[in-house]
Structure 1
Amino acid sequence: MGSRQEKPEEKRERIRREELKNNPFGTLNDGVNRVGNGNLPDLAGGLGWKGTGILIVVLILGYVLYRLLF
């Protein structure tokens, strides 16, 4: 069996995963900007689990503040 050459899509995905692993909060801006062109799974995938957790907490706090003030 010879070595399998990596497809461009696989290479992009591998590089993206390495970047997420090395700098999880650095991609927060990318994930937030992606929502303008994508959908919710794209946003959550771009943010990673930490960024998604922060986004959920911010949304819940915003809702609670809204209900208290209005």
Structure 2
Amino acid sequence: MNTDKETPENRRERLRLEELKRNPIGNLNDAFNRASSGSFMDMGWKSTGLLILVLIVGFIIVSIFFK
């Protein structure tokens, strides 16, 4: 394959595949580290909505029991 006429998308994909061949555990390690130090930005909108819903319901339950 001639790299001069290669599109940027094809080049990125080729480099990604070469990296996976050289270091197959690297992707797993990156995903684990991202999950352990994630933030709300890494969560999807469904997960964020569920978290807010659980907090609201928890607040309501606590306020009923300690009234």
User: TM-score, normalized by length of structure 2?
Assistant: 0.43
More relative contact order, 1 or 2 (CA 8 Å, 6+ apart):
1
Whichever of the two has the greater Rg, that structure is: 2
